[in-house]
Amino acid sequence: MADSSSRGAVMLCVGTDKGLFRLRSAGTRTEWRIDGPQMAGYRILDVCQRPGVERELLAAATHDIWGAHLYASGDGGEHWESLAAVPHHPPGIHAQSVRAIWSLAYTPDARILYAGIDPVGLFLTRDHGLTWTAVDSLHGHETRHTWEPSKGIFAVHSICIDRGDPWRVVVAISAGGVYRTEDGGATWDPANRGVRAENLPNRYPIAGHNVHRIVMHPDASQRLYRQCYNGTYRSDDGGQRWTEITQGLPSDFGYAIATDPNDPDTVFQIPESGSHLRTTVDGRLRVFRSRDAGRTWASASAGLPTGHAWVTVLREAIDVDRHAPCGVYFGTSSGHLFASRDAGDHWQLVAEYLPRILCVRALELDH
């Protein structure tokens, strides 16, 4: 493994209910400088970095009055400008053509940018957001009748693109399940085999699942991890089949899951108490880590609050960097941001009393 000091600086883009905050640190990741909020007053649901042009960023923002917007920055987030176009459905299909843009993901060559929106939709652009095309092959899927809104969201999220083959894309729909394509979106297959859905009449349906998040390992794309309304899962074949790995966790409910980019067998999960309370189990803010692909779990929570921490960590509010050991970062509904620079062995509080944290993105910069 490469020494972490040999890698570039890290910038955390922290999207909140009231705008975007940035935290920056040198490669050692021991001290952090914070600024913001930018796009003040907007909910920032996702931030992505254009591959090969590290200072070009895109942020998904939404406002109760001003609606959904995409903001672009060409200087690493110092300044932002709203794009003229956003992905949206044609009039008449839904009550609103777009409520929010939930997810953004570039193909590795940066030729295509995907966006997942609410009401449920997947769109792509080949001109960096000037125009958008609906992925109707997904919208018109034969299992479309099984999809329905989940609590607070009816969207495409967790867009995972194979770095070695940009024609392979895996997406999640809340609530609808996981779908995969191997032909760049011409056709889609449900990817939910082996996943429980306790809220549905058929316990193992082909589609209709309430999936909270999926992640694909960047260097071993056949390995995916998935956090659902019912259980935590691993796939070893690109999502065709799933193995439940909930045993050893204090709950089968949660949102936040991430994998170590240096090791496909290392996965981090933050359990919550269930669909009713939706906060940390027993009020203890704990990160659980597995080193063997979910076969066994152990708490990796040194430095985190041990009691009376009744908070939620949302689906996009966790991320990792590519240092070795990797840095792990997550934010809470109480506006507290935690960081570990040793893959979860130790944690420090790096920001507090921010607005509710919706997403965290760890981006690497040369300086």
Per-residue DSSP letters for 226-258? EEETTEEEEESSTTSS-EE--TTSS-SEEEEEE
Res. 6: pLDDT tops 70? no
How many independent structural domains does the chain possess? Answer: 1
Q: pLDDT of 11-68, one tens digit each?
A: 999 999 999 999 999 878 889 999 999 999 999 999 999 999 989 999 999 999 999 9
Q: pLDDT of 305-363, one tens digit each?
A: 999 999 999 999 999 999 999 999 999 999 999 999 999 999 999 999 999 999 999 99
CB burial of residue 164 (10 Å; 0-12, 13-18, 19+): exposed
Q: Are strands 100-106 and 189-190 parallel, antiparallel or unpaired?
A: unpaired
CA–CA distance, 367 with 364 (Å, rounded to integer): 9
Q: Which two three-digit tokens encode residue 310? A: 């009744």
> What does the longest C-alpha to C-alpha distance in the chain come to?
55
**pLDDT for 285:** 97
Residue 274's pLDDT band (cuts 50, 70, 90)? confident
The separation between the first and the last C-alpha atoms of the chain, rounded to the nearest angstrom, is 22
Q: Domain with 179 in it: what CATH number?
A: 2.130.10.10
pTM of the model: 0.95
Helices and strands in the chain: count of H runs, count of E runs: 1, 28
Q: pLDDT of 277-287, one tens digit each?
A: 888 999 999 99
Range of the domain at 28: 4-365
Q: Which residue has the tokens 């889609």?
A: 188
CA–CA distance, 264 with 276 (Å, rounded to integer): 32
| Bond from prior residue into 100 cis (ω within 30 degrees of 0) | no
Phi, psi of 328 (to 5 degrees): -125, 135
- What's the mean per-residue pLDDT of the chain? 94
DSSP 176: B
Q: pLDDT of 171-202, one tens digit each?
A: 999 999 999 999 999 999 999 999 999 888 88
Question: Any residues with CB less than 8 A from the CB of 126 and at least 6 apart, and which?
Answer: 111, 112
